[in-house]
Amino acid sequence: MSGNTFGHIFRVTTAGESHGPANIAIVDGVPPGLSLSEDDLQPDLDRRRPGQSKIVTQRSEADTAEILSGVFEGRTTGTPIAILIRNDDVRSKDYSEIREKYRPGHADFTFDRKFGFRDHRGGGRSSARETVVRVAAGAIAKKLLQERFGTRIVGWVAQVGDEVASVPDPTSVTLDAVEATPVRCPDPDAAARMIVLIEQVRAARDSIGGIAQVCATGVSAGLGEPVFDKLKADLAKAMLSLPAVLGFEYGAGFGVATARGSENNDAFVPDGDQIRTRTNRHGGMLGGISSGMPITFRCAVKPTSSLPQPQDTVTRSGEPTTIVTSGRHDPCLLPRFIPMAEAMTALVLADHALRQAAR
């Protein structure tokens, strides 16, 4: 299987499955001298961790990271950093029924067609469990970005179903405001409505999707390449590499479809000895290169595909049947998706920041 490595200079390779003994990340390209310990990784791992509230999956994982290499006396050495996160609470028997059945909305069928074999325990390699080590690697990227480049990344839940948060100024959102509610929405009124909706959906043995938003501030102008390695393209690939993401838009996004050019263009203005734009409909990227304005984008996240209610499907031999997915699943993926989105954003920005510095 190829495609397990992400990035150019700041490179991350992951390995592991949902119900295997552990998940592993090898992080290469981290400059030497960065202060780093497991304590730097744990806060974001705790935000992604299952069982953290009543509106997420109740799988119980400590998600404690072990740094096996690349750090000496509390600082990075410049050599590859190996991170191990063990799986402690696997219940593979919950998936015995799907050994010969394809779950709607999952990668069971496509995995079988590609490899002729699949690990049916929780989805194996295609499970969102794999993202645990991405979050650990992203925590390193976040620390590098903040300490060396002054970049800050915050994500939040902007919408669950029809419940939409009111966030007039994305740059004003703080981590404390996001973490104030279990749904990770900085608008308290909308957050309360979202929680009620998620609980209603779970009681109906169903699931619901929504929209996540991310804002990165302190990104210097000049990151990204003009053709195939556009910053916007790499961010889109990063987000779409995450499970359950079906849409990506930055800046004004699909709103540009009904706008006039005179309405959509952001006017340049002087700002002391710098240049910025008066508005930010371009989402901080022009021509695929960062403009120095905040980078803002949104991801559409689908409802959880695993449902504790009958769904039509077929067996591996093509016989019609039904399936009820047991196990422990999120009724809404959004609350635990936020640290994943932040991590992938950090990996992209760290990689491009190092690439630009290498010029």
Please give the residue range of the domain that contains residue 285: 5-49+61-358
The pLDDT confidence band at residue 328, using thresholds 50, 70 and 90, is low
Q: Considering only 174-178, 305-309, 322-326, which range has the smallest mean pLDDT?
A: 322-326
Q: What angle do CA 7, 289, 136 make, to 5 degrees?
A: 30
The pLDDT confidence band at residue 60, using thresholds 50, 70 and 90, is low
The two three-digit tokens of residue 141, written as one number = 């990227």
Please report, to the nearest 10 degrees, the dihedral formed by the alpha carbons of residues 37, 40, 44, 50 taken in order: 40
CATH number for 106 = 3.60.150.10
298 within a domain of the structure (yes/no): yes
The pLDDT confidence band at residue 105, using thresholds 50, 70 and 90, is confident
Residues 252/283, Cβ–Cβ less than 8 Å: yes
33 within a domain of the structure (yes/no): yes
- Quick one: how far is CA 280 from the chain centroid? 23
Distances (CA, A) of 309 to 35, 145, 186, 284: 48, 44, 32, 43
The total of structural domains in the chain comes to 1
pLDDT score of 58: 62
The two three-digit tokens of residue 314, written as one number = 């077929």
56 within a domain of the structure (yes/no): no
pLDDT score of 95: 62
Helix (H) or strand (E) holding 330: none
54 within a domain of the structure (yes/no): no
Identity of residue 340:
M
* 287, pLDDT greater than 90: yes
pLDDT score of 160: 98
Distances (CA, A) of 190 to 161, 332, 340: 11, 15, 22
* 97, pLDDT greater than 90: no
pLDDT score of 113: 85
135 within a domain of the structure (yes/no): yes
The pLDDT confidence band at residue 122, using thresholds 50, 70 and 90, is low
3-state SS assignment for residue 152: strand
The pLDDT confidence band at residue 42, using thresholds 50, 70 and 90, is very high
3-state SS assignment for residue 116: coil
Q: CA-to-CA distance for 61 and 50, rounded, in angstroms?
A: 6
220 within a domain of the structure (yes/no): yes
Distances (CA, A) of 89 to 50, 58, 80, 126, 328: 10, 10, 29, 18, 11
Decide which of 93 and 218 is more confident: 218
The pLDDT confidence band at residue 89, using thresholds 50, 70 and 90, is low
164-197 tens-digit pLDDT:
999 999 999 999 999 999 999 999 999 999 999 9
346 within a domain of the structure (yes/no): yes
Q: CA-to-CA distance for 226 and 52, rounded, in angstroms?
A: 42
Q: Considering only 20-24, 260-264, 347-351, which range has the smallest mean pLDDT?
A: 20-24
For the segment 36-49, the average pLDDT, to the nearest whole number, is 95
Residues 5/99, Cβ–Cβ less than 8 Å: no
138-166 tens-digit pLDDT:
999 999 999 999 999 999 999 999 999 99
Decide which of 54 and 131 is more confident: 131
Q: What angle do CA 83, 54, 104 make, to 5 degrees?
A: 75
For the segment 78-102, the average pLDDT, to the nearest whole number, is 80
Identity of residue 27:
V
Q: Find all residues with CB under 8 Å of 135, minimum gap 6, and list them.
A: 44, 45, 47, 48, 339, 340, 343
293 within a domain of the structure (yes/no): yes
